A and B are shown apart, each in its own frame.
Chain A
Amino acid sequence: NAGVTQTPKFRVLKTGQSMTLLCAQDMNHEYMYWYRQDPGMGLRLIHYSVGEGTTAKGEVPDGYNVSRLKKQNFLLGLESAAPSQTSVYFCASSYPGLALTYEQYFGPGTRLTVT
């Protein structure tokens, strides 16, 4: 199993450009999450999804949109990139299952720079 994968690994955008980050998981997990990681700020939740066709806002949702059209994919969109969105973006997935474990499995991250 590949686990959680993210595309692309690196990207440089100009202010105002748009892009979509793709997260895919092959573990049949119900829940998926998008975080951003900035120095000294930890991991902050942007949006999350508890199942196909559902999305919800996290701690820092402004400037981002998401979609979960298929259970295995979770897309993060930036409609008009701003320098403040320069960050490392991590996707994660989890499945409580019968053991009620909430371990989140993270992807390798996408480093985004907005100039």
Chain B
Amino acid sequence: GENVEQHPSTLSVQEGDSAVIKCTYSDSASNYFPWYKQELGKRPQLIIDIRSNVGEKKDQRIAVTLNKTAKHFSLHITETQPEDSAVYFCAASSDTGANSKLTFGKGITLSVRP
């Protein structure tokens, strides 16, 4: 089955700096890569996703890049703000349609220092 890894487990940045969170996946058949944000005590929520036919996707201050050859994808957050502090989960899906299910990484705790 799919295996998704995130490193490091924690990341601390100064407010205004950029943050980059990286994930690797094992199944070359994976074709859907979402990122979820979970604030303390809250439910995970999708912030951005990318499909394997696209190399990069942007949405305001966040972007995701995908390198299919190396089997890794990254979340980029620019001009970080204190409200960006949260746990970020990457995930990958190697099945689509009737067997659609996600494999999540263990999560990275991002702290933005004011």
Q: Which residues of A contact B (CB under 8 A)?
A: 31, 33, 35, 40-45, 48, 50, 56, 58-59, 90, 94, 96, 100-104, 106-109
- Judge if B43 is at the interface, Cβ distance under 8 Å: yes
Query: Which residues from 64 to 114 on chain B have a C-beta closer than 8 Å to any C-beta of chain A?
Result: 89, 93, 96-107
**Residues from chain B with Cβ under 8 Å of A106 in the complex:** 43-45
Query: How many Å lie between the Cα of A31 and that of B46 in the bound state?
Result: 16
Size of chain B's interface in residues, with CB distance under 8 A? 24
Query: In chain A, what residue has the closest Cβ to B2?
Result: A59
Query: In chain B, what residue has the closest Cβ to A43?
Result: B104
Contact of A44 among B34, B43, B44, B104 (CB under 8 A): B104
**Residues from chain B with Cβ under 8 Å of A58 in the complex:** 101
Given A35-B104, A42-B89; 10 other pairs, CB 8 A cutoff: A58-B101, A59-B1, A96-B97, A102-B93, A102-B96, A102-B100, A103-B49, A104-B102, A108-B42, A108-B43
